[in-house]
Amino acid sequence: RSFASQTDGESRLVRVLQEKFPRASAIKVVDISGGCGAMYEIHIESEEFREKRTVQQHQMVNQALSEEIKHMHGLRIFTSAPK
């Protein structure tokens, strides 16, 4: 899907994540609720995750999105450090 067709919710989450993870080499946010903003899938590749366990990486993302998460039903998070 092209960047131009991102939903408002996707764009907002990408902006928040770019602020919280300035060293991220890749950020992808997909609304998997059919566009209503209830559930998102997030993929982040960032140097900030190096040497951290998966659960710690996910906690960092949850903390970064703490305000936004209050309005969601679900969130799938995939994190990694650049190879």
> What does the pLDDT look like over 17-30, one tens digit per residue?
999 999 999 999 99
**pTM summary value:** 0.88
Kindly report, residue by residue over 34-69, the tens digit of the pLDDT.
878 899 999 999 999 999 999 999 999 999 999 999
Question: How far from chain centre, in Å, is Cα 70?
Answer: 14
Burial 4-33 (b: 16+ CB within 10 A, else e): eebbebbeebbebbeebbeebeebebbbeb
**Structural domains of the chain, with CATH:** 8-80 (3.30.300.90)
